[in-house]
Each structure stands twice: as C-alpha cells, then as structure tokens.
Amino acid sequence: MAQLDKAKMIVDKDFRIAEIDERIYGSFIEHLGRAVYGGIYEPDHPSANENGFRMDVIELVKQLNVPIVRYPGGNMVSAYNWEDGVGPKEERPRRLELAWRTIETNQVGTNEFAQWAKEANSEVMMAVNLGTRGIDAARNLLEYCNHPEGTYYSDLRIKHGYREPHKIKTWCLGNEMDGPWQIGHKTADEYGRLAAETAKAMRLVDPSIELVSCGSSGIQMPTFPEWEAKTLDHTYDYVDFVSLHQYYGNRDSDTANYLARTLDMDHFIKTVISTCDYIQAKKRSKKKINLSFDEWNVWYHSNDQDARLDPWTIAPPQLEDHYNFEDALLVGSMLITLLKHADRVKMACMAQLVNVIAPIMAEQGGSWKQTIFYPYMHASAFGRGVSLQPVVSSPLHDTKDYTDVPYLDSAAVYNEEKEEVTIFALNRHLSESLPLTADVRSFADYRLVEHIVLEHDDLKAVNSLNEEKVKPHGNGSAELKDGIIEAQLSKASWNVIRLAK
C-alpha cells in the first residue's frame, strides 16, 4: 500500500472556539455495583482513611484531576430516598435498589459523598429523584445541603455532624427520564412540567444553583430530538443546561467503524445545539442553554456477564468493563469531540469513575489504571485553556456506517496563562502511520516539549493489577522547525504534542 497522504493542520492562536470549562473533565459515581462500596469506600481496606475512603483510589482520581463528579445516579436516583442516606449509619435502612436490583445499605449518602469529593479535590454534581418523587424531596435535599442554618433541614444536617453547608452548585433534574427503563419514566410533557416546577422551587431555596434539564439517553432514542424540543419548551426559562448521554461498543468487532462513532457524537451535539437554539428563537429569549454531556464512555464488554448476576446482593461486580487499547482510542476521540464543541459543551462526565465502566479499578490487592485512564488524564492535564479551531485537511476513508471519515481526528488547546499549546491527535488508520504537518507559526518562540504516544500492536490489549500493557510513552517523532511541526502518527495511535514558550 502506498504511504498515506499527509494530514495538515494550521493552529493559530487567533482561531478560537471558546474558553474551555474545566468541568468537561468531570466524572460520575453512582450507587451501582462496586463504584461506592468496594470502590471509593471500603473501611476495612488497608488503604482506607478514617472516613473509610480508599486513599489509593483517591490518589488515582487526583491524577485525573476531576473537577466535578455526578452523584448518586444514574438510574438509581429515580427511586432513591435521600433521607435514607443521612444520619447515624446504624439507623439507615437497607433497601431494595430497583434500578440495578441490588441491596443498598445506605452506609454512604449525601454527607459522606460531599466529604469524599472534598478529599478528591472535586465538586459534586447532585441529581434529584424525579422518577418516584418530585418537588418536595428535591427542595428539601437542597435546603439540607446548601442552607446555612436555622431551618429544619439545615439544622438536621448540622445535627448529622456537618456544620458547614455543602454549597453544591450544580443539580440535575432527574436522570434519563426519556428512557422506558427508568423508574417513573415520563412523557416529554410530563417530565417538562415536573422539571420546570421543581426548578422554580429549587431556585427559590438557592438562586445561585445551576440546573440541568434531562435530554435524551442517546442519539438512538426514538424520541430524540423531539424530547429536547418538548421538554425545553417547559424548562427553558428555569434551567441552564440540557444533558446528553452516549455509550458506544465495538459489538461486531469492526474497529474502523467503531473509531468513526465520534462522527455520530458530533452530530448528536450539533442537533442538540440546534434544538436549544430553536426553542430560544421560539421564545424570543436572550438566554442560551448550554450542554452537559453528563454520561459518556464505552460500555458493552460487561453486558453478558451482568445478565448472569443474581439479584439482591450487596455491591456485586456490575458493569465492570475491562477496557482494551482500541477503547482508549475511541475515548480519546470522544474527548476531542467535546473540545471541538467547547463553546456549548460546558460540562461532561466520563461515566463512571471507579469499577463501574471506569478508568480506575479497585481490587483487594490495590487499584490500577484501565487503558482509557490515559487519554482522560492527558486531556484533563493539558486540555485547559482556549479550545482552538485548527484548519485541518486529512485523507479520508469510508466505514460500514460512515463516509468521508478523516484518518486524523484532532483538537488544539492554548493555555495562555501557562504559555503552552497542546495538539491532541488520533490516527484512525489501523495499519499505516499518518504523516502530519502542523503549522504553528503564530506561536513564535515556542519549543516542542514532548510528543506523548499511546500505541499498541494488539488493539485488544488490556491492563490489569499486575500488568500495565497499555501505557503512554514520550518517544513520539514530532519535530518543530521554523514554526512547522512534522510528525509521523503511528498506526492506530493517540498523540499529545505539547509546545511551550
């Protein structure tokens, strides 16, 4: 095969998309499987601190530098009584957790999670139950969390040992209410009305909060995008964000097609933006609604195993996807897609954080990094600042479901404060390296710091506690001369090319 045509980029400091909201590097902890019990919380583990939190896990969370973590669900929140999870631990009820058909011991609840987030240097994105409950439970929870003192729920929090309010700023109005699997699933009009009235009441309790209206559970939902149009018609004036959720899987083992899935994610984001703006126009509103992509990841490896689990056990190993190298490539491409939309996607949560479809795994013997940990870590570390709009030309290919897929997927970030520029680049070609020329002449006096590469000969290679087969190295080929970067991006690789003054 002849060598691939060159991919070209022009990265100019004046071609700006927007300032990146660091909350796009958020994540998610649900009371599901071993995310909480045996994940972030395991009082008997040798690494646990006085609060029962595993410090080996917190250490890895800090390496990811996760600014915000969604909690407590997910599907679980739609039948959750938050009152079960506060107060003396010995008095907390054990409940049937209906979403995942397990036993919930409630040993971790709102206060413990707020404490954990503090220790992990994160903020909490709290979801309220709009499935089985509604306005009253939501406003009471908000009063419990954010009101300083002198009322029933704020004084109850103080009595429970938390003198200072948690000051939780970001609140999700339910979870995936468009999904028939959701407990208390609603039609768009039913949800829109309830979400609008809940939002109004919550804002009366604390006008400083930001609210997220439930969008679609995926682009494949039959009600998408009508769901967004109808629900936002009700909620537009009272919320700040609409949510998007999307998971992918390489079910038919067609990697080229799998790595092109982000074209569909891009289309999803554009359609939600258009729908928000249509409602804005319809309402003659000055306000723009932003996007919270608050569940995204790869999820499919564990499906068969989960179908065989017995119900009604405590913290079973649910949704424990063991990620391979090609999953890390797709995750990198999903991060690039979020960066390309930094003007409207202001929050995003990799779902989830520990054990459950997660970059971090916690076992008795220690915690370890899945393959997908690395692109997430790179983007969170080097993807802060201004998202630039590179002018890109790339050789193209077709896959089963997509046409004109660029081999090069890329984004560029300019951190003005640190005087650093980072190019994130994925080579989607599975057997050929991709020559890249990047014109960075607008960054005069910048030097090449490093070219990090995540590559592996086996697309199905996985990591484990004992062996980290997939990990990045710093020996990429990029060279910078007279403002032009020349690099060979290895076949099927994730690349981080860093410049600094």
Nearest to 183 by CA among 59, 76, 329: 76
Which one is catalytic: 123, 295, 326, 420? 295
How many whole angstroms separate alpha carbon 84 and alpha carbon 103? 13
Instruction: Mark whether 210 is an active-site residue.
Output: no
Residue type, 201: A
Q: Write down the least CB distance from residue 294 to ligand AHR, Å.
A: 9
**Least Å distance between CB 22 and ligand AHR?**
22
Q: Buried (b) or exposed (e) across 281-307, using 16+ Cβ within 10 A?
A: eeeeeeeebbbbbbbbbbbebbeeeee
Our CB check for ligand AHR shows the closer of 26 and 435 to be 26
Interface residues with ligand AHR (CB under 6 A) are: 30, 73-75, 175-176, 217, 295, 351-352
Q: Choose, from 176, 228, 432, 455, the residue flagged as catalytic.
A: 176
CB-based contacts of 310-316 (< 8 A; 24+ apart in sequence): 311/101, 311/102, 312/96, 312/101, 312/102, 312/103, 313/102, 313/103, 314/37, 314/102, 314/103, 314/105, 315/33, 315/34, 315/36, 315/37, 315/38, 315/102, 316/33, 316/34, 316/102
The smaller minimum CB distance to ligand AHR, of residues 72 and 476, is found at 72
* CB-nearer residue toward ligand AHR: 266 or 295: 295
30 versus 104: smaller Cβ distance to ligand AHR:
30
Q: Give me the least distance between CB of 81 and ligand AHR, in Å please.
A: 17
User: Closest CB to ligand AHR among 175 and 275?
Assistant: 175
Nearest-approach distance from CB 272 to ligand AHR, in angstroms: 17
Whole-angstrom Cα distance, residue 316 to residue 105? 13
Residue nearest to ligand AHR (CB): 74
User: Is there a catalytic annotation at residue 176?
Assistant: yes
Name residue 124's amino acid.
Answer: V
CB 48, min distance to ligand AHR, A: 25
Length of the chain: 501
- Candidates 56, 170, 174; CA nearest to 119 is 56
Give per-residue burial for 347-365: e unless 16+ CB within 10 Å, then b: bbbbbbbbbbbbbbbbeee
Q: 438-457: buried (b, 16+ CB within 10 Å) or exposed (e) per residue? A: bebebbeebebbebbbbbbe
**Beta pairing partners, 489:** 434
Q: Which is nearer to ligand AHR, 74 or 165 (CB)?
A: 74
Minimum Å gap between C-beta 138 and ligand AHR is: 18
Enzyme catalytic residues: 176, 295
